[in-house]
Chain A
Amino acid sequence: MIEVKDVSKSFGDHDVLRDINAKFKPGQNNLIIGSSGSGKTTLLKCIVGLHEPTTGEVYYDNENFTAMHFEGRVPIRKQIGMLFQNSALFDSMTVEQNIMFPLNLFTDMAKSEKQDRANFCLKRVNLEGKNKLYPSELSGGMKKRVGIARAISMQPKYLFVDEPNSGLDPKTAILIDELISELTEEYQTTTVVVTHDMNSVMGIGDYVIFLHDGKKWWEGSNHEIAHTNNKELNSFVFASKFMKAAREKL
């Protein structure tokens, strides 16, 4: 479980996050939603340690991650898999080398074992046989799937996903959402997804927190989201005509 306690983050005079509290449980899809500039990605970066919170702490299974130094964080980081918004695949490496990279650095597996693991991960994301391609030869959706394959190569306990559907067509976006949801259930990972895609929220949002102006305004499940009276959340969720029409039918 990941616990965020009173996390605030400021850049100079600008407060991006203010006193955020949340508990992300294993085996469920935890979604952080909000409009652009609400602080979603900053919160995710505070959780994974790419940003240090100005105040507050982040706990991984009751271990205070924020208080740890670089070396202390390494054992936890080895259990983290992350899919970045732009996939962040290593350009100079093939798909297979990208997936094998953490295995090369942190395991003593034989080369054949590592290749087997890479093949398994690629099969899991439906990209069998794409081992020798470079990231520049892949489509946006394929890059995301390779990013997921790399993220799960070390069998992570915690899976973080930043805007998984950005730049993807609706069909591919749903496939990526389903894949994340399946992996969460299969490996019982603590999955945290940052998104502003309402399809993702309604499709896989087991636990959703809504950020607005750097503050947590609402939390609950995707089933509860349509019936909330929270004004800010409603204006975010039902911003599109399609969602407005859907609400009227409810």
Chain B
Amino acid sequence: MFQSLGRYILLLRLSFRKPEKFSVYWAEIMREMVSQGIGSLGIVIIISVFIGAVATIQTAFQLISSFIPKTVVGNITRDSTILEFSPTITSLVLAGRVGSSIASQIGTMRVTEQIDALEIMGVNAPGYLISPKVISGLTMIPLLVIVSVGLGLMGGYVACAASHDVSTADYVAGLTEGFNPVIATVCAVKAITFGFIITSICSYQGYYTSGGALEVGQAATRGVVYSCVMILFADLVISRMLL
């Protein structure tokens, strides 16, 4: 375990060496941003709307009582969406979508000697392959989480309008009242951390693949599983430290 951790840290250090040519790396970063950001938008939209709607319906089911103001539903949906559902669930889904793609892409390049070809040319292969993916993850995953928060709250609004358990006016009032800005900070820290975890762990798993197609698949699976476990662990640590 310590050997793997050491290798992971060394790989990250190699990844952030001075690039051979900034313009080439910049083009790679842009390409990765499109792949990770635009490519994941569809799945993020779908899960966010549904999670927001379900969270609102279930909160309303548990809290509808004459003693509790109906605005509480909006309040709880907002906080749980910003604090947990959007950053964590979105990141777990992105670990599957983005992480497996990164691990299999780099793993395939390893087993087909494309990484060897980069090294022979004198290219810093970890820098060229990994740093654009990590930088893209650090920027696009937080942006996707912001989109997810907006759509999750919208999903809750649609659920209120459709079910009539809580009026949309009460829901919107609940969303706006008693907002504590620290939850937005926690959401941002989680999103950035999870973005780093997904891209760096999956890159590591792909980079040290050896063998053939079977091992590439195994590396992708390992990347996703380790990323998910680390996301949940980091979620706990960040929540404990910042809340």
Contact = CB atoms under 8 A, between A and B. Distances in A.
Contacts of A75: 122
Interface in A151-173: 154, 160
Nearest to B120: A82
Nearest to B121: A102
Interface in B106-129: 108-109, 112-114, 116-117, 119-124
B119 to A, nearest CB: 6
A90 B109 CA distance: 8
A193 interface: no
> Taking chain A's interface residues, is the majority helix, strand, or loop, or is none over half, making it mixed?
mixed
B112 A86 contact: yes
Given A90-B114, A91-B114, A48 B20 contact: no
B21 interface: yes
B120 A78 contact: no
Contacts of B20: 105-106
A104 B24 contact: yes
Given A104-B21, A104-B24, A106-B20, A88 B113 contact: yes
A106 B119 contact: no
A154 B123 CA distance: 14
A50 B116 contact: yes
28 contacts: A49-B119, A49-B120, A50-B119, A70-B124, A73-B122, A75-B122, A77-B119, A77-B120, A77-B121, A80-B120, A80-B122, A82-B117, A84-B117, A86-B112, A86-B113, A88-B112, A88-B114, A88-B117, A91-B108, A91-B109, A91-B114, A101-B121, A104-B24, A105-B24, A105-B123, A106-B20, A106-B21, A106-B122
A74 interface: yes
A188 interface: no
A154 B117 CA distance: 14
Contacts of A101: 121
Residues of A in contact with B, size category? 20 to 34
A75 B20 CA distance: 12
Ranked nearest first, the 3 interchain pairs of A and B with the lowest CB-CB distance are: A77-B122, A88-B113, A88-B117
Contacts of A80: 120-122
B184 to A, nearest CB: 37
Contacts of B114: 88-91
B121 A105 contact: yes
Interface string A58-96: 000000000000100111011010101110111100000
Question: Which of B112, B113, B122 has the most chain A CB atoms inside 10 A of its CB?
Answer: B122
A106 B122 CA distance: 9
Interface string A19-56: 00000000000000000000000000000111000000
Interface in B193-211: none
Given A80-B122, A106-B122, 11 more contacts: A49-B119, A50-B120, A73-B122, A78-B121, A80-B120, A84-B113, A91-B108, A104-B21, A105-B123, A106-B21, A106-B121
B130 to A, nearest CB: 15
A28 to B, nearest CB: 21
B122 A78 contact: yes
A172 to B, nearest CB: 20
Contacts of B116: 50, 84, 88
A73 B121 CA distance: 10
Nearest to A79: B122
A102 B113 CA distance: 16
Contacts of A48: 120
A105 B117 CA distance: 14
Contacts of B121: 77-78, 80, 101-102, 105-106, 154
